[in-house]
Structure 1
């Protein structure tokens, strides 16, 4: 049976007249009245959540429909949803109005206040939490390549950060964010998560911001490493890659050896390099742990997940997106060509969601 996959996308909300982020996310979520459109941690954001499906064509249709709904709703407030991992200009975001968000802001201070970042989260179904943990242990080396592929946040507070995915760097400052260790089994995963919560690094499982985790709400593995994608077909390709990685990992029969897996420190370095360069420089090839040309690293990824891509019927779309990105550059490269971070809105109209 083909695994189901679902996608959550976060968008900035920008005033069409003002050219600045506007705190209308709660209004849009309230007016939508559907489960697939939600408010987010900052009021200048909105989130869409696709239905789970086993076909990427249906996923694409669902995302396009939800994007269109959000665009129409935002238009009622003289606003537009924008697919960028960060707001390029200077801005102080508005926290969501809830007891939980108030508590997060009070506890985490500036780490929470600055979190106006937008990502794409992919949920892939697993048969059980035990299978989920086995999957998490095996996909961890490959996730940095997804960060590179979908990088879309080069600017922050009015300046060029020199990074392709500054969103990744901002999130990495949170105490539970980033690459996770090899868990070994479900008991170890749960013990570590409990210890983090008990130590005050998170309030609950929903604040365990590992690069990939067991979802606190669904029977899925949730991959959280990519910036929001301007084009729906790129988000769908990322989802296809995530599903293929989960399939490949779930089929592995040999017991995983901690001493044979890359350390968390090594993965942090690989993740930072992906966030720094996107596909514009050498990346870590998880198959060899060597720094190689980006093309070679993605060839390794497509080989590793190739059988699953073929069986799911996803190879053509995924390969086309990977090849096109390697030739044309990432969305971050595109932002640098068209966006002035001192006055972002004019260039960001190319990143409007419709």
Structure 2
């Protein structure tokens, strides 16, 4: 019988990173205007944005947040400023996992690290116009971090489905809910990680990949969950950037609660279920293909089950933690959005029916959630 989560689970801090795509405001094709957007954001709006691998992407980061409501407000505020900076630069910032329109090739950012990646990995770099959402959750130490990663592994397919938000490429439906996941899987170190025996084992695996040349350094160990390279956190990076803030916050709340429970379990000597890496890879591929409305292998039950049922099971499992750490309202808000409007991929398909470019771009514009928030406040 599965052990119920503890109500005294640790309530760790959380941080969210989101990557956005810069596109032509009329055609939706990617444009290499990151330098302009970053400069305007800093000098005109007081917002520090990060460059990404290509010049058609920018990244935002929340501060270290005490709970997901704080993260939600920061994401709303920051997305609004990103949208404004993009408009001032003559483009549009959209929250989408992969470019839905135009050619998915960008100019590699002119930095020493990114140029080295381009030299070593060729076309993979310039075709890396994909945008994810990474959730960082604090853990006590490195040894705990690798064990928490082990506990997180079985839930990666469900977490991937929550924000699946990239069904199109080149104006065509790919048949996937998350085309980003397929593009991302071409990197040699990506997808679900193996089970880690210890921090030393994790370090040895990283050293092997660096020696083999499949990763330049530990920052290029792109597993879907990993100990962060510079922060005392576990980083979950399996997800598309969400179309709305409420979906991003739902993801953050799920990850925060899973980490919180895992920290308690590790402290009590509870071992993680050692799901084979290949089993997880198959389930994650199916989750990217099917999205929330599909049926995917439940790696703990050993049989295919609807993703939405698996998500409901996870939420029930974690509800005592949500109640204890105050994240339950954010979870309920995110689930209500998914139940009433569908996932990001579903909404994109509806918006783009008949090739309506403006309808699609309006849906995934980064200030879409902010505008929805304003409409909700007005209605109430």
Shorter-chain TM-score bucket reads over 0.9
Q: Which residue of 2 aligns with 1:105?
A: 118
Q: Which residue of 2 aligns with 1:254?
A: 269
3-state DSSP of counterpart to 2:237:
strand
Q: Which residue of 2 aligns with 1:304?
A: 317
Taking structure 2 as the reference length, what is the TM-score of the superposition? 0.88
Worse-matched range after superposition: 19-28 or 268-277: 19-28
- Once the two structures are TM-superposed, the CA of residue 101 in structure 1 deviates from its matched residue by 1.4
Q: Give deviations 1:152-192, integer Å, cap 9, x for gaps.
A: 00011232111000101110110110000110211101110
Q: What are structure 2's unaligned runs of at least 5 residues?
A: 1-9, 368-380
Q: Which residue of 1 aligns with 2:134?
A: 121
Q: Which residue of 2 aligns with 1:211?
A: 224
- Once the two structures are TM-superposed, the CA of residue 285 in structure 1 deviates from its matched residue by 2.6
Residue 14 of structure 1: which of 5, 23, 27 is its match? 23
Q: Which residue of 2 aligns with 1:40?
A: 52
Shift in CA distance, 332/17, structure 1 to aligned 2, threshold 3 Å: closer
- Once the two structures are TM-superposed, the CA of residue 314 in structure 1 deviates from its matched residue by 1.3
- Once the two structures are TM-superposed, the CA of residue 321 in structure 1 deviates from its matched residue by 2.0
Residue 40 of structure 2: which of 4, 8, 31 is its match? 31
Report the count of equivalent residues: 352
Residue 64 of structure 1: which of 63, 67, 76 is its match? 76
Q: Give deviations 1:28-61, integer Å, cap 9, x for gaps.
A: 2233336741111111111111001112221111
Mapped to 1, the partners of 2:210 and 2:246 lie a distance apart of 37
Shift in CA distance, 175/341, structure 1 to aligned 2, threshold 3 Å: farther
Shift in CA distance, 268/18, structure 1 to aligned 2, threshold 3 Å: closer
- Once the two structures are TM-superposed, the CA of residue 142 in structure 1 deviates from its matched residue by 0.2
Q: Which residue of 1 aligns with 2:334?
A: 321
3-state DSSP of counterpart to 1:322:
helix
- Once the two structures are TM-superposed, the CA of residue 329 in structure 1 deviates from its matched residue by 2.0
Mapped to 1, the partners of 2:270 and 2:286 lie a distance apart of 29
Mapped to 1, the partners of 2:223 and 2:244 lie a distance apart of 25
The 8 Å contact of residues 88 and 341 in structure 1, kept in 2 or not, is answered as no
Residue 161 of structure 1: which of 159, 174, 178 is its match? 174
Q: What are structure 1's unaligned runs of at least 5 residues?
A: none
Shift in CA distance, 343/23, structure 1 to aligned 2, threshold 3 Å: farther
Task: Say whether 1:173 aligns with 2:173.
Answer: no
Q: Give deviations 1:194-239, integer Å, cap 9, x for gaps.
A: 1111110111111110001111121111100111112111111110
The 8 Å contact of residues 279 and 299 in structure 2, kept in 1 or not, is answered as no
Shift in CA distance, 13/197, structure 1 to aligned 2, threshold 3 Å: same
Mapped to 2, the partners of 1:36 and 1:6 lie a distance apart of 16
The 8 Å contact of residues 40 and 89 in structure 2, kept in 1 or not, is answered as no
Worse-matched range after superposition: 317-326 or 290-299: 317-326
Mapped to 2, the partners of 1:155 and 1:299 lie a distance apart of 27
Q: Give deviations 1:135-160, integer Å, cap 9, x for gaps.
A: 00111010110111110000112321
Mapped to 2, the partners of 1:7 and 1:187 lie a distance apart of 27
